């Protein structure tokens, strides 16, 4: 008999959730989302559970995202229920954000997409030197959901906008500097920390003690932060790319190659997704968390009716030719009306959170 895809244990003072699909990099599916939400509700009312720990099985990933291949297959089959996974996932994100006890994500390895949603909204995000964070959605014709509308625009100096448009990856030091992680530890200390957390109520003190033993080093992103803020704080994607192109052409500027690489990367993503992500983050900066999740459900409901998401998944996951044929093909061909339509209330109604 196969093991459950998410394990729940009561160990000492802690409720422990273990994402248990290591061969799939612990990618979330609908059953896992529903089980986690149900267990968190139980633990919220259980006085014996003082805090919650969430981990990923295996040594490669905390959680590499959601099971988008399943959504692709549902879309190809015309399944009208394919938005339900996202609705329940977004409700889980809200439950984590509002959880009344310490919620501690122990991140060792890849944390992307849906994995970010079940970690970044918790009170404590502890990552090792093996942490790799990214919101890679624009590369598959999607958008940075699971609360990206909330946390990305609140990262310092427009680093969240850069991460969203480019699907850029952050390692431990950068994730600490931007606030994705609250603490950094050595991977060799992860088991000892997990054990210590089950034996104490002093969560902050225990995590801080392990964190003090580890030097994550300087954050490379910090040195470029003023330039990132100046470029990615502009009023449109077109202006951002214009600024990157100008810097790329500046002979002798040490950031010229960096700017060229970013410009090329953004232009390779789904034009619709890039434009959506820009508008999403600008709007999310002014909204509370629940409003952000309703906003994302609106975008999701419309994007599942389009073509780019399925084309992106086909290119990256199904056929693996890494040659998506976006529609429209170029950023200049995406109209304002196309983007604004994604923010309209869907026929099925807004997300109930």
- Which of the following is catalytic: 89, 145, 174, 311? 145
- Which of the following is catalytic: 56, 66, 115, 147? 66
DSSP sequence for 94-161: HHHHT-SS-EEEEE-SEEETHHHHTTTTSSEEEE-TT-EEE--GGGGT----TTHHHHSTTSGGGHHH
Distance from C-alpha of 57 to C-alpha of 129, rounded to nearest angstrom: 17
Structure tokens at 342: 């994604």
Residue 172 half-sphere exposure, CB side, CA atoms within 13 Å?
21
Closest by Cα among 64, 76, 67 to 310: 76
Q: Is-catalytic flag, 137?
A: yes
- Which of the following is catalytic: 67, 108, 137, 174? 137
- Which of the following is catalytic: 109, 113, 114, 168? 114
Distance from C-alpha of 251 to C-alpha of 235, rounded to nearest angstrom: 26
DSSP secondary structure code for residue 75 in this structure: H
Distance from C-alpha of 160 to C-alpha of 229, rounded to nearest angstrom: 10
Q: Is-catalytic flag, 147?
A: no
Q: Is-catalytic flag, 127?
A: no
Closest by Cα among 200, 190, 83, 205 to 127: 190
> Would you give the end-to-end CA distance of the chain in angstroms?
36
Q: Which residue has the tokens 């394990």?
A: 7
Structure tokens at 146: 């699971």
Q: Is-catalytic flag, 114?
A: yes
DSSP secondary structure code for residue 298 in this structure: H
**Catalytic residue annotation:** 66, 114, 137, 145
């Amino acid at each position: 008999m196969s093991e459950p895809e998410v394990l729940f244990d009561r160990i000492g003072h802690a409720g422990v959730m273990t994402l248990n699909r290591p061969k799939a990099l612990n990618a979330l599916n609908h059953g896992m989302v529903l089980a986690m939400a149900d267990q968190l509700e139980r633990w919220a009312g259980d006085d014996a559970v003082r805090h919650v720990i969430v981990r990923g099985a295996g040594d490669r990933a905390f959680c590499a995202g959601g099971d988008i291949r399943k959504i692709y297959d549902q879309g190809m089959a015309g399944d009208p229920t394919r938005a339900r996974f996202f609705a329940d996932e977004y409700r889980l994100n809200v439950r984590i954000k509002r959880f009344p006890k310490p919620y501690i994500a122990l991140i060792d390895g890849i944390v992307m997409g849906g994995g970010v949603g079940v970690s970044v909204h918790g009170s404590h995000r502890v990552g090792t030197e093996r942490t790799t964070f990214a919101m890679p959605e624009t590369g598959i014709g999607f958008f940075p959901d699971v609360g990206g509308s909330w946390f990305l625009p609140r990262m310092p100096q427009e680093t969240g906008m850069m991460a969203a448009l480019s699907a850029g990856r952050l390692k431990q030091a950068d994730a600490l500097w931007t606030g994705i992680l609250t603490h950094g530890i050595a991977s060799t200390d992860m088991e000892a920390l997990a054990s210590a957390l089950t034996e104490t109520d002093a969560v902050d003190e225990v995590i801080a003690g392990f964190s003090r033993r580890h030097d994550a080093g300087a954050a490379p992103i910090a040195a470029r932060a003023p330039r990132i803020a100046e470029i990615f704080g502009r009023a449109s994607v077109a202006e951002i790319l214009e600024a990157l192109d100008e810097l790329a052409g500046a002979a002798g500027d040490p950031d010229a190659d960096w700017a060229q690489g970013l410009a090329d990367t953004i232009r390779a993503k789904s034009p619709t997704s890039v434009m959506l992500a820009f508008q999403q983050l600008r709007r999310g900066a002014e909204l509370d968390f629940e409003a952000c999740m309703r906003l994302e459900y609106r975008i999701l409901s419309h994007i599942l009716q389009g073509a780019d998401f399925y084309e992106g998944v086909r290119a990256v996951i199904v056929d693996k030719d890494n040659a998506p044929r976006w529609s429209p093909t170029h950023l200049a061909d995406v109209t304002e009306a196309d983007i604004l339509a994604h923010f309209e209330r869907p026929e099925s109604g807004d997300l109930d959170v």
